[in-house]
Amino acid sequence: MRVHLYTGSLETVRRSGVGQAVAHQRAMLQSAGVEVTESWQGHADAVHINTVLPDAPLAALRARARGEKVVYYGHSTMQDFRDSFVGSNLLAPLFKRWLCLCYGLGDIVLTPTPYARGILQTYGLPCPVRAMSNGVDTAFFAPDKARGAAFREKYGLSDSQKVVVSAGHFMQRKGIFEFIRLAEALPDVQFYWFGYTQPALVPAPVRHAMEHAPGNLHFPGFVSQAELRDAYCGADLFCFCSHEETEGIVVLEALACGVPVLLRDIPVYEGWLTDGVNVYKAGDDAGFAAKAAGILDGSLPDVTAAGRAVAEARSLPRMGQALCGVYKDLCPA
């Protein structure tokens, strides 16, 4: 089996969850013994496409012309495009039509969760849609006290200082307003939001809220995967207030590192993340503040072992085997 992992325009999305998903696919395929190429030279049994940038449908058409199967990854929906960048709500209906054009060129569309699959099935795509997690590197993202201590030393945090982290683009959909208000509600706790978005793409209300954020909230910018892992390991809580996701790779990373996780109670997590079992969930500002306080002071039970188990079930070797099952269905011998 030979798979072409198409990387055209990858630099544009390398710092996003899509970029991380491409890295995961490479590792998943290699762990399953599949030959991976990033070149058009030679025949491939399947071509993986991960973006909906202008070159992507051209790559799909080229693959079809070469007699190669197209595995299109459905990382985006109209729903998670809303409330993101400047003008996203106005463009959302057009974006949906573009998604349909792109995804419709696939022989199969893989999307991370049953929730995302349900959304894409309403788009009337001509090809089957299957749910398959993006996976997580549970060897790299794992509990490590030494790495957590390195994070705290770098940011001048004492062992007793409570720390809450989050990660993502600067956008309303990611819950940045709620995260800022949570920092205001817990002034004795240090908050860190890791990530970066080009200022021209950040809506004015988000920029204004960030400029007026409380002093206990810090925006270190984009950091490497190693630095982000250290932050997970050194934090007392990972809080992800996002309103809409297709899965949430950072959630899997945090779970794998054994940090308590607090999420917004939204449909994408139904069936695999349960409040009080492997994560905690909240629905509004008061809920986030109460759950965060309970996790930080230890009054809520520790569910991190069950959270780690969720991540292990989605490890890259396991997902690599699942992906091989897709190939067997798509490219029968």
Span 5-10, mean pLDDT? Answer: 85
Domains defined for the chain, CATH in brackets = 2-135+315-330 (3.40.50.2000), 145-312 (3.40.50.2000)
Q: Residue 10: is its pLDDT beyond 80?
A: no
Average pLDDT over every residue of 144-163: 97
- pLDDT confidence bin for 72, thresholds 50/70/90: very high
What is the pLDDT, as a whole number, of residue 328? 83
Which segments of the chain are extended strands (E)?
Answer: 2-5, 35-37, 46-49, 69-73, 108-111, 129-131, 163-167, 190-194, 217-221, 237-240, 261-264, 280-282
* pLDDT at site 58: 96
DSSP letters for 262-314: EEE--GGGTTT--BTTTBEEESSHHHHHHHHHHHHHT-SPP-HHHHHHHHHTT
Return the pLDDT at 293: 98
Examine the pLDDT at 16 and tell me if it is beyond 80. Answer: no
In this structure, what token pair is assigned to residue 233? 């390991």
Under the banding of pLDDT at 50, 70 and 90, the label for residue 232 is very high
- Per residue in 237-270, pLDDT (tens digit) is 999 999 999 999 999 999 999 999 999 999 999 9
| Confidence band, pLDDT 50/70/90 cuts, at residue 110 | very high
pLDDT digits (tens, 9 = 90+) for 281-324: 999 999 999 999 999 999 999 999 999 999 999 999 999 999 98
Mean pLDDT value across the chain? 94
Q: What is the mean pLDDT of residues 86-91?
A: 86
pLDDT greater than 70 at residue 333? no
Residue-level pLDDT at 88: 84
Report CA dihedral (79, 81, 85, 86) to the nearest 10 degrees. -70
Q: What residues contact 129, with CB distance under 8 A and at least 6 apart?
A: 74, 108, 109, 110, 111, 117, 120, 121
CA distance 217 to 230: 18
Report if pTM > 0.85: yes
Percent of the chain with pLDDT over 70: 99
